[in-house]
Structure 1
Amino acid sequence: MAWFQGRLKIADFGWSVQSRSKRHTMCGTLDYLAPEMVENKAHDYAVHNWTLGILCYEFLYGAPPFEVESQVDTFKRIMKVDLSFPSTPYVSLEAKNLISRLLVKDSSGRLSLQRIMEHPWITKNANPMGVCN
């Protein structure tokens, strides 16, 4: 992580790859694994959109959405997409909508990067000029 002109930027390129075919490797932090990775199925770039949903949830709620004490139970919650949102007045319906549209079991149903950038929660909160208020 690095601060640049008052904006937080996050990058982790440890497992990044450019590939036109689906992959079968299992890698990453348990709480961030997409269902297709947990189920040992082929996966593509859509796992990154899933991870963005996990990050948004964790930033807003302070913990990953599927985390429980047991690794096996965490895997089960991920595979079922057993998602719930704790009650709080601080997280908007728009934020919950974005997260819900990223944490979709069928990877083809997840928002694309273009749709993420057009989502109301992003457009409402993004600062395209990079200027802090």
Structure 2
Amino acid sequence: MDEKIKFEMEFPIHASPQLLFQYISTPSGLSEWFADNVNSRGENFTFIWDDSEEKAKLLSKKSGERIKFRWLTDEEEGASYFFEIRIQVDEITKDVSIIVTDFADDEDEVEEAKMLWDNQISDLKQVLGSA
């Protein structure tokens, strides 16, 4: 199994950390921007898009701060990959950003994954009315 490539992206966003956290940590919030539908049972989340379904395990969550998931396909392979959405507040300016950490299979896929996150975060900004 080849090593995946880790990447991080930062998106400035105009919303309170508390509100943002609702959108990144709850099935109803995630289904507004991340997937068409999201269901959860305990720490198991199911993300549904048009014709596909992906399951992920909630690894950790810290209220108002961050959430971390691992796709079950990675879990089954014994891989320690994850994707994390973190809310960062600048101590001085109080500007809020979302930091996304994710993994891609290779360099080409990194670009594709970044474009996907770009699109998803712009959907989130529209939902928040801060686009």
User: Normalization by structure 2: what TM-score?
Assistant: 0.30
User: Normalization by structure 1: what TM-score?
Assistant: 0.29
| Greater Rg over alpha carbons, structure | 1
Which has the larger strand fraction? 2
